[in-house]
Amino acid sequence: MGKLMFLMYFILSVFPADATENMRHIHIVRRGSKKSHRGDTVAKIWIEGNGQKKIEIAWSELNADEEAEILKAIDEHWDELNSLIDDVFAGKKIKIKRIK
- pLDDT (tens digit per residue) in 43-73: 999 999 888 899 999 999 999 999 999 999 9
Q: Rounded to an integer, what distance in angstroms lies between the CA atom of residue 14 and that of residue 84?
A: 10
Is 48 domain-assigned? yes
**Per-chain mean pLDDT for the chain:** 86
**Residue span of the structural domain in which 76 resides:** 2-91
In a domain, 84, yes or no: yes
What predicted TM-score, i.e. pTM, was given to this entire model? 0.84
- Please count the structural domains in the chain: 1
**Residue 46 belongs to some domain of the structure:** yes
Query: Does residue 58 lie in a domain region?
Result: yes
Better-scored residue on pLDDT, 65 or 38: 65
What is the 8-class DSSP label of residue 15? -
- The verdict on residue 96 lying in a domain is no
| C-alpha dist (Å) from residue 5 to 22, 50, 55 | 22, 24, 16
Q: How confident is the model at residue 35 (pLDDT cuts 50, 70, 90)?
A: low
In a domain? residue 54: yes
CA 30, 80, 70, 91 torsion-angle sign: negative
Band the pLDDT of 34: cuts 50, 70, 90: low
Q: What is the pLDDT of residue 36?
A: 46
| Per-residue pLDDT at 38 exceeds 60 | no
Residue 76 domain flag = yes
Q: Is the separation of the CB atoms in 99 and 15 below 8 Å?
A: no
Does some domain include residue 98? no
